[in-house]
């Protein structure tokens, strides 16, 4: 898997690994996560899976948090408000790919239906493009998401269906979730605040 770019020259290797783990959400290869993270209570190993603890997530948030009140934070907040309604659209696309409107599983036997979902994903990708470009001007680490999403989309368009939402690879949805988590940490938001903000923005757009 390609790594999300969360490096910072001021961080030591353990800090780099912690931020990468928290942005990813989990690692399936334990040796990628230093034992130091587990020893310090920042990571938890369950079988082949290494996950961040709440303490680890909080520590990564302190490292990634953009300076409150700075001009970049104001711009990031504006872009996050643009991101969230598109985030809802992507969730709807992934749901439609897995389940048809009548609630039955999508067996992908209807090429016309699948093509419609693919077109919706193309619309999402076109909508997020300008947001991603502007995010990259705020922080260098945010520049990597655009090519990673494009790579996943290209593979999905080439007929490799798992590149839409498989959690086992850097699929479109997987990379998108990493971007979402990265932005949440940079803005110092809780998941509850994030969800409430998205609902407010989506409801406002619908109204």
User: What pLDDT, in 10s, does the model give residues 14-54?
Assistant: 899 999 999 999 988 756 557 889 999 999 998 888 999 99
Name the percent of the chain lying above pLDDT 90.
83
Q: Are residues 163 and 194 located together in one domain of the fold?
A: yes
- Cα(190)–Cα(186) distance, integer angstroms: 11
Q: Are residues 91 and 190 located together in one domain of the fold?
A: yes
Q: What is the pLDDT of residues 159-180, one digit of tens each?
A: 999 999 999 999 999 999 999 9
Name the band, by pLDDT with cuts 50, 70 and 90, for residue 2. Answer: low
Q: Are residues 110 and 173 located together in one domain of the fold?
A: yes
**Per-residue pLDDT at 1:** 46
Long-range contacts made by residues 109-112, C-beta under 8 angstroms, separation at least 24?
none
Q: Are residues 76 and 169 located together in one domain of the fold?
A: yes
The pair of structure tokens assigned to 199 is 């609902």
Q: What is the pLDDT of residues 130-154, one digit of tens each?
A: 999 999 999 999 999 999 999 999 9
Angle at 147 between CA 137 and CA 134, to 5 degrees: 20
Domain boundary at 64, 86, 105, which? 64
Kindly report the number of other CB atoms within 10 A of residue 59's CB atom: 20
Domain boundary at 5, 39, 64, which? 64
Is 6 among the domain residues? no
Residue 159's domain comprises 71-206
Is 7 among the domain residues? no
Query: Structural domain tally of the chain?
Result: 2
Is 38 among the domain residues? yes
CA dihedral 175, 199, 93, 50 (to 10 degrees): 30
* Residues linked to residue 99 through DSSP beta bridges, in sequence order: 105
Domain boundary at 49, 64, 79, which? 64
Q: Are residues 88 and 161 located together in one domain of the fold?
A: yes
Helices within the chain (DSSP H only): 13-24, 35-39, 54-64, 71-98, 111-138, 145-157, 172-187, 191-206
Q: Are residues 39 and 77 located together in one domain of the fold?
A: no
**Per-residue pLDDT at 10:** 79
Q: Are residues 107 and 159 located together in one domain of the fold?
A: yes
Q: Are residues 158 and 189 located together in one domain of the fold?
A: yes
Q: Are residues 76 and 100 located together in one domain of the fold?
A: yes
pTM score, whole prediction: 0.92
Phi, psi of 46 (to 5 degrees): -125, 100
Q: How many residues in the chain? A: 207
Q: Are residues 177 and 84 located together in one domain of the fold?
A: yes
**Per-residue pLDDT at 33:** 59
Q: Are residues 35 and 85 located together in one domain of the fold?
A: no
Kindly report the number of other CB atoms within 10 A of residue 8's CB atom: 15
Distances (CA, A) of 72 to 56, 78, 133, 136, 202: 25, 10, 14, 11, 24
Is 95 among the domain residues? yes
Using CB atoms within 10 A of its CB, is residue 160 exposed (0-12), middle (13-18) or buried (19+)? Answer: middle
Q: Are residues 100 and 120 located together in one domain of the fold?
A: yes
153 and 121 Cβ atoms separated by less than 8 Å: yes
**Per-residue pLDDT at 7:** 62
Q: What is the largest CA-CA distance in the chain?
A: 52
**What is the average pLDDT across 80-108?**
96
């Amino acid at each position: 898997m390609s790594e999300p770019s969360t490096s910072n020259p001021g961080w030591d290797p353990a800090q780099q690994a912690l931020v990468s783990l928290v942005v990813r959400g989990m690692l399936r290869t334990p040796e990628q996560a230093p034992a130091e993270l587990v020893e310090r209570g920042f990571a938890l190993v369950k079988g082949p899976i290494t996950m961040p603890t709440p303490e680890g997530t909080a520590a990564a948030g302190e490292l990634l948090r953009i300076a409150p009140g700075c001009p970049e934070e104001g711009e990031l907040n504006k872009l996050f408000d643009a991101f969230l309604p598109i985030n809802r659209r992507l969730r709807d696309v992934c749901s439609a790919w897995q389940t048809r409107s009548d609630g039955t599983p999508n067996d992908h036997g209807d090429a016309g239906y699948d093509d419609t979902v693919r077109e919706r994903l193309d619309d999402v990708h076109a909508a997020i493009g300008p947001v991603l470009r502007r995010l990259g001007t705020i922080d260098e680490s945010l520049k990597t998401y655009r090519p990673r999403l494009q790579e996943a989309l290209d593979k999905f368009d080439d007929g490799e269906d798992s590149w839409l939402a498989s959690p086992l690879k850097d699929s479109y949805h997987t990379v998108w979730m990493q971007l979402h988590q990265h932005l949440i940490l940079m803005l110092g938001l809780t998941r509850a605040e994030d969800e409430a903000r998205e609902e407010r923005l989506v409801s406002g757009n619908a109204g």
